[in-house]
Amino acid sequence: MKTAFLNLFGQTPLTRRRALWGMALVAPNVLGLLFFFGLPVLAAFATSLQQWNAIKPPVFVGLDNFVRLFQDGAFWQALGNTLKLLLLSVPAEIFLALNVAVMLNQRLRGRIFFRTIYFLPVVTSTVAAAIVWAWIFQPRYGLIGNIFAPLGLRDIGWLTRPDLVLLPVAAVMIWQRLGFDMVLFLAGLQTIPRVLYEAAIIDGANPRQRFRFITLPLLSPTTFLVLVLAIINGFQVFDQVYIMTARTTRGGVGGSATTLAYFLYQSAFIRSEFGYSSAVALVLFLLTLGVTVLQLRIQRRWVYYEAGE
């Protein structure tokens, strides 16, 4: 009996000793992750089925939180704002990052310098970035208004107008994300074999054709990865909203800038509704999971496509 158990760890004393070492080495991090991340994941599901306020003990209420959530106009508004932000920021940031990366992937003096400049906002704290951009978007004395003063935009209250407030938020997202995407695109471009371009040049393909028929298709796995990461990141927008609307109504006038993450924060830590906000958290989780699963599915097809060539 004892030997059977021991054999689980290996056939010889040496492999057994190494198995014990292995477990001892991974234990601190694995147990820490289990306790501080795994446990909360399970708890998130349980909490979403409870009514839990600051004072009263939690009560099991089944799916009530979700029923309430789907009837809550504020939740749909937050979901809508999150999707609008994705639409405003993701295509623009990917388009810009791809173009910058392609330009920087050429024989060009100062490539590293430009790469540094474009990457600077990535290492900047989002809170500081949002404060600076809030100042840039101030009416009358802000930078944007004054640059575009000839268009009559100087006195526009970007952050106070419910129909405009998502634009400044998206601006910060694009500014901070462009360099990150660019670096991924640059790495992707490095993997495209040079010989393909050389062959295309011999065949008389012009630069635009080379981009269209070599760069773009061979870069598509990178493009897709960048897209997925941008979407997942976009689901979690919080800092920008919290900071940029701090001087008016937090979350934007009439909830016009409230994102899912901000809505979650509000219902959990301002209104102390832990059960209800856990339902929001679960929606956030499922959205992210959906995108990730989709990515894995499609990626598999891509790998096959490449192998088939």
Partner 1 sequence: MSEQADQPAPYTDLSLPIKVLTYFVLILGAVVMVLPFVWMASTACKVPAELNTLPVRWIPQTPVCRENLNLLYETSPNFNRYLLNSALLTIGRLVGQLVTCSLAAYGFARFKFPGRNVIFALSLGLLMVPFQAILIPEYLLLRQLDWLNSFRALIIPGAFSAFAMFLLRQAFLQIPLELEESAMIDGANPLQVLRYITLPLSGPALAAFAVITIQAAWNDFLFPLVVANTPDTRVVTIGISLLQGERSTPWNLLMMGSFLATMPMLILFVILQRYFIEGVTMSGIKG
In one-letter notation, the amino acid at residue 227 is: L
State which amino acid sits at residue 260.
L
Nearest to 98 by CA among 15, 181, 206, 28: 181
Residue placing its CB nearer to partner 1 in the complex, 75 or 175 = 175
Q: Whose Cβ is closer to partner 1: residue 138's or residue 163's?
A: 138
Q: How far is the CB of 166 from partner 1 (least distance, A)?
A: 19
* Shortest distance, position 88 Cβ to partner 1, whole Å: 17
In this complex, which beta carbon is closest to partner 1, that of residue 69 or of residue 261?
261
CB 80, min distance to partner 1, A: 18
Closest to 77 measured CA to CA, from 273, 241, 254: 254
At position 217, the amino acid (one-letter code) is P
In contact, 49 and 271? CB cutoff 8 Å: no
Euclidean distance between CA atoms 176 and 170, whole angstroms: 10
- Closer by beta carbon to partner 1, 70 or else 269: 269
CB of 285 to partner 1, least distance (A): 4
CA-to-CA dists, residue 152 to 99, 135, 139, 156, 159, angstroms:
30, 19, 11, 8, 17
CB of 205 to partner 1, least distance (A): 10
The residue type of 68 is R
C-beta of 163 vs 202, nearer to partner 1: 202
Least distance (Å) from partner 1 to the CB of residue 189? 6
Instruction: State how far the Cα of 26 lies from the Cα of 289, in Å rounded to an integer.
Output: 26
Between 96 and 164, whose beta carbon lies closer to partner 1?
96
71, 95, 176, 288 from 67: Cα distances, Å: 6, 39, 36, 21
Considering the complex, what minimum distance in angstroms separates the CB of residue 36 from partner 1? 4
Shortest separation between residue 101's beta carbon and partner 1, angstroms:
11
Q: In whole angstroms, what is the distance from residue 189 CA to residue 222 CA?
A: 9
Helix pair angle (216-235, 73-104), 10° resolution: 150
Report the distance separating Cα 268 and Cα 289, nearest Å: 22
Spatial separation of the C-alpha atoms in residues 148 and 125, rounded to whole Å: 27
- Nearest residue (CB) to partner 1, 163 versus 203: 203
Return the number of the residue (163 or 209) whose C-beta is nearest partner 1.
Answer: 209
